[in-house]
Amino acid sequence: MIRSLVSALLFALSAAAAQAHEVQSAVADFITEGGRLQMEMRLSAEPIVAGIDLEGVQDTNSTEGAERVDALRALPPETLAAQLRDEMPRILAGMNIRADGAPLDMAVSEITVPPVGNVELPRETAVLLAGALPPRAETLQISWPAEFGTLILRQMDMEQGYTGYLTGGTSDPIEIPSDSLLGIAGTYLLAGMVFFAPLGPAHVLFVLALFFLSSRPVPLATQQAAFTLGLLPALIAGTLGILTPPASFLAPLIAASVVYVALEGILVPGGHRGRPALVAGFGLLHGLGLAAALRAFGLPGSGTSLALAGFALGVILAQLLVLGLAFAMVALAQRVDAGRVPVRRGQGVYAALAVAFAAAGWWLYGVGLPQTQLGLALWLWPLAGLSVLCLLSASFVDRLHAYRRFVVVPGLLAIAAAGAGLAISSAL
């Protein structure tokens, strides 16, 4: 209750200052779970990027950098986000985040800048930070230089957590709640799913290419098992630093594997004996790519093996979800092609799905979701495209091999084109 009143008072003071002056207090909410510190900062980024000393300043118009601040407020969100990202090493150095006296290596996972509005008024930018805690860390301390203005600091994962108002200097030692093994496993299981899909388009495209090669249970299970058996050892070796090829070399190869498998599915529809071994080899590449993502995400100081196991399980679950969704999408088209379902039913279902997915994707993209959620929204448009292909298959079911002609081949061509685009963009 007391903490809630203090937080409300701090927010009231911050809101009053925002109405009367242009300089707002920054707000940092943080939690410690899964052996990691995660922090969401909301701040007016333009004065800090402009290099203005905000100590004692209530209105940036009274400073020498006022024109620079207004110019930054007129920048598009992606441009300001790039400039703020360049400034983050300086900001993090000033924050000097420490656990038990040891500095934490914090990384910026996302920056979200609102659209341009009235340049006379501040806009609130959100910055997500994350870093691994040392083993059995007990206390946390966070600094905030006076030149950055003031900071409202709140601990969100404890009922009586820390709440402070920093105007320069360092917070009191903040208690870190003990982490459960279940919490670590859950954090990294979710991370494995997110890094595979929706944030891993090349991995998803590869699994979909395998699905279109053959959606029959035995061949599909064989190829998926080969892919997973290749992926897991590489994931472990890459995460532990045993094998760490440069991203500039690895990313184009991963994308090229998507192109190869998709084109092979078109040119060699029946497959060949060596395909499982080839798929396992490609799994090694994808495992190393996921390991690089996990290293960037960071491992906890304790429970590393459990975190790695949770991440690997998340990757496997994500594969199963992708395959399950793909099968659910095409199952009706396959039944129409086999003559087991009326054509009109297939046409009606796929027409409705195409419109629904396209409308949902368009609406969510227009809302301006954060990058982590936007990746999921962007997959709605390919689902709309797949619905259209299934609609064509159902409409021209009298043609020989309608499902392969209108769904499999166009789907594999689209996957190959997307993989080629990823290969080119990662190579440049």
Helix (H, G, I), strand (E, B) or coil at 123: coil
CA atoms of 345 and 339, how far apart (whole Å): 12
Which one of 117, 145, 175 terminates a domain? Answer: 175
CA atoms of 379 and 359, how far apart (whole Å): 12
Answer yes or no: is 7 within a domain.
no
Same domain as 132, residue 264: no
Which one of 128, 156, 175 terminates a domain? Answer: 175
Same domain as 131, residue 33: yes
Same domain as 210, residue 187: yes
Q: Which long-range contacts (CB under 8 A, 24 or more apart) does 164-167 make?
A: 165/10, 165/25, 166/142
Could you please report the per-residue DSSP string of 142-180? -B--GGG--EEEEE-SSTT--EEEESSSBPPPEEPPPPP
Backbone CA torsion sign across 335, 337, 341, 347: positive
pLDDT in tens, 348-385: 999 999 999 998 888 877 665 555 555 666 788 899 99
Please give the residue that has the higher pLDDT: either 201 or 119.
Answer: 201
Mean pLDDT of the chain: 87
Cβ–Cβ under 8 Å, residues 179 and 34 = yes
Could you please report the per-residue DSSP string of 212-266? HH--SHHHHHHHHHHHHHHHHHHHHHHHTTS----HHHHHHHHHHHHHHHHHHHH
CA atoms of 125 and 73, how far apart (whole Å): 11
Answer yes or no: is 212 within a domain.
yes
Same domain as 386, residue 253: yes
pLDDT at 16 over 70: no
Could you please report the per-residue DSSP string of 97-118? -EETTEEP--EEEEEE-PPP--
Predicted confidence band of residue 25 (pLDDT cuts 50, 70, 90)? confident
The token pair at 236 is 């472990």
Same domain as 279, residue 335: yes
Same domain as 232, residue 210: yes
Same domain as 107, residue 205: no
Same domain as 316, residue 259: yes
Mean pLDDT along residues 87-96: 95
Answer yes or no: is 8 within a domain.
no
Residue 318's domain comprises: 181-426
Domain count, the chain: 2
Lowest-confidence region among 15-24, 46-55, 165-174, 237-246: 15-24
Same domain as 228, residue 132: no
Which one of 146, 175, 204 terminates a domain? Answer: 175
Could you tell me what percent of the chain has a pLDDT over 90? 60
Same domain as 226, residue 146: no
Answer yes or no: is 157 within a domain.
yes
pLDDT in tens, 67-84: 888 899 999 999 999 999
Q: What is the pLDDT of residue 406?
A: 94
Answer yes or no: is 351 within a domain.
yes
Answer yes or no: is 17 within a domain.
no
Same domain as 270, residue 148: no
Q: What is the pLDDT of residue 22?
A: 60
Q: What is the pLDDT of residue 221?
A: 92
Answer yes or no: is 128 within a domain.
yes
Helix (H, G, I), strand (E, B) or coil at 24: coil
**Pure H helices in 338-379:** 343-367, 371-378
Predicted confidence band of residue 326 (pLDDT cuts 50, 70, 90)? very high
Residues 6+ apart with CB under 8 A from 353: 329, 383, 384, 387
Answer yes or no: is 85 within a domain.
yes
Same domain as 226, residue 210: yes
Ramachandran angles phi, psi of 241, nearest 5°: 85, 10
